[in-house]
Amino acid sequence: MKHIFGVSSHLTFYITHRIIELNRYDRDECLLFLTRNYSLPDNFNEQYPHQVHTGYNLANSKSGRVFAGANVFKTFRNIREFDALIDPFLQGREFLYYTQVCSNDLTSLMATKKNCRGFYVIEDGLASYRNFNPQTFTGVRYVAYKTILNPLFHRIYACKNHFIASESPKFLGCIATLPFCFPLHQDKLQVIGLPYETIELGFTPDALLSIDPLYMHFSKEDIKHIYTELGRFIEGKQYKTIAFKYHPNFFAAANAEVKLFFEKTIRDIFGESLVELDKSVVLENVLKTYCCDFYTDNSSVALYGSQMGAKCYTYKPVMRKYAPEEKFEEWYPSIPVLEKAFLPVG
Per-residue pLDDT tens over the stretch 184-236: 788 889 999 999 999 999 999 999 999 999 999 999 999 999 999 999 999 99
In this predicted model, what pLDDT tens digit does every residue of 12-28 receive, in sequence order?
899 999 999 999 999 99
Q: How far is CA 222 from CA 104, 120, 216, 227, 256, in A?
A: 35, 41, 12, 9, 19
Residue 152: per-residue pLDDT:
52
Same domain, 244 and 164: no
Answer whether residue 105 shows pLDDT above 80. no
Same domain, 184 and 232: no
Domain with residue 227: its CATH number is 3.40.50
Name the burial class of residue 2, with classes exposed (0-12), middle (13-18) and buried (19+) by CB atoms within 10 angstroms of its CB: buried
Catalogue the E-assigned strands of 226-345: 242-246, 274-276, 293-296, 312-314, 343-344
Decide which of 138, 156, 191 is a domain's last residue: 191
Which of 153-162, 180-189, 280-289, 322-331 is modeled with the greatest confidence? 280-289
Same domain, 226 and 308: yes
Radius of gyration of the chain (CA): 22
Same domain, 239 and 181: no
Residue 255: per-residue pLDDT:
84
200 within some domain:
no
19 within some domain:
yes
Q: How far is CA 69 from CA 9, 156, 157, 181, 218, in A?
A: 29, 10, 11, 34, 34
For residue 119, the SS3 value is strand
Lowest mean pLDDT among 9-23, 81-95, 142-156, 270-284: 142-156
**What's the longest Cα–Cα distance across the chain?**
68
% of the chain beyond a pLDDT of 90: 48
Phi, psi dihedrals of residue 342, rounded to the nearest 5°: -100, 150
Same domain, 252 and 128: no
118 within some domain:
yes
Decide which of 137, 161, 191 is a domain's last residue: 191
Decide which of 144, 164, 191 is a domain's last residue: 191
Total domains in the fold of the chain: 2
Residue 132: per-residue pLDDT:
54
Same domain, 279 and 156: no
Same domain, 113 and 7: yes
C-alpha 202/C-alpha 196 separation (Å) is 19
**Owning domain of residue 293:** 207-344
